[in-house]
Structure 1
Amino acid sequence: MRIILLGAPGAGKGTVASALHEKYNIAHISSGDLFRENIKMETPLGKQAYDYISRGDLVPDSVTIGMVEERLSAPDCSKHFMLDGFPRTLAQADSLDRFLAESNREIEAVVSLLVPDELIMKRISERRVCVSCAAGFSLTFNPTRVEGVCDHCGGQVIQREDDKPETVLSRLRTYYEKTRPLEEYYRARGLIIEIDNSKGLQPTMIDLECALRDRDIEFEGKS
């Protein structure tokens, strides 16, 4: 299974990807996690990314693509992987296609998670993240056992600045302007699978697994 998860901020891409990883042991490649890991490990790409971020500049495609390609070259991505947060632009999508073609791989499906903007606003404003291990939580659906304390590592759990309500609308506008064209790009190739993710994780997983099986897309359980 080689899929891309598309959806607006707060549509639940990370939650669905984590569930697929837990159930089927499929590599989950999150662009946000890649940035954090590379910056923390002070890799050459991480240092480049940090230089741009520290100046308040956008990280160029070449750096982002380099991180993704490096991760996709790992053994656990040879057959199965899911991309979350990448590609974001048509240029990135084209680079991804060309890179995968070099190893006779291709994207098998692009899952578009559909959630009304009103629900996205609520979900994002309730999101919390651990500052130490980056584990995600929700005040409603996945609260910490102890308020403000990470269940996994005991680190501090906070609300990110860009998850606050006053910034959510701006993030949604950016998504619709910049990322939505990707859906049309993949729709023209017959790769789009639309999944309603407004009813919770369990119905979403059932619908998604059925849709993947209908397309004869292979995915394996944990070994």
Structure 2
Amino acid sequence: MAPVRRRAQRTPAPRPYRFAVAALRPPLALVTSQDWSGQEHLPASGGFIVAVNHLSEIDPFTVAHFLVDHGYPPMFLAKSSLFDIPVLGRALRPLGQVPVYRNTRRAGESLAEAEAAVQEGKCVVIMPEGTLTREPSLWPMRGRTGVGRLALATRAPVIPVGQWGPQQLLAPYARRPTNLFRQPTMRVKAGPAVDLSDLYGRAAERAAMASASDRVMHAVVAQVAALRGEEPPAQLFERGSGS
């Protein structure tokens, strides 16, 4: 496969971010191959939201690799526990990443910070499932309402992104790579922005947030299905159901 022609960064990245990209891109390129598609759907200007499925603990690296290669240094909404890890935690804040404090009084802080970032013209990445998928065949689950809330509050484009391949390098819930010499292909596909315009006037309603989140997740499922070449389940998997 021909190498990706990297674009100049559309959004300026802080120096620690540029250092991290320079340090991580070579090893990622060494242990994986890349199959990027749909990048024409990434907005040419203005802030936007990327919603992506969650397969493996290395997903953020794969998605960041895709976005940085096309000129969009992303800001992730990351679970707050990652910021408690000594080395990683100290690195995340300078990289512009935002902790998500679920089920606490601080839960709204991360969305407020993400909303401000979108308004500033940044690319904000959210994994609406909130955790690694528990669907037995690794299809995306129903998302939490945070992505709908953020989308309706900002009215920014929401780009659904599917990925398939990270789980071949690091299986769900695994702590060590499966096989560093297999060089699995990281497949990432972006789709057209999800139309949520009919819900904008109901931004404060939880039902509208849930409806927006479901639309986004169905669009993400469509991208994953295209990558897998398979028919997805008719219904979004509910967390807590099945095994």
Which structure has more helix as a fraction of its residues?
1
Assess same fold via TM > 0.5.
no
For this structure pair, what is the TM-score category when the shorter chain's length is used for normalisation? 0.3 to 0.5
**TM-score, normalised with respect to structure 2:** 0.37
How does the TM-score come out when normalised to structure 1?
0.40
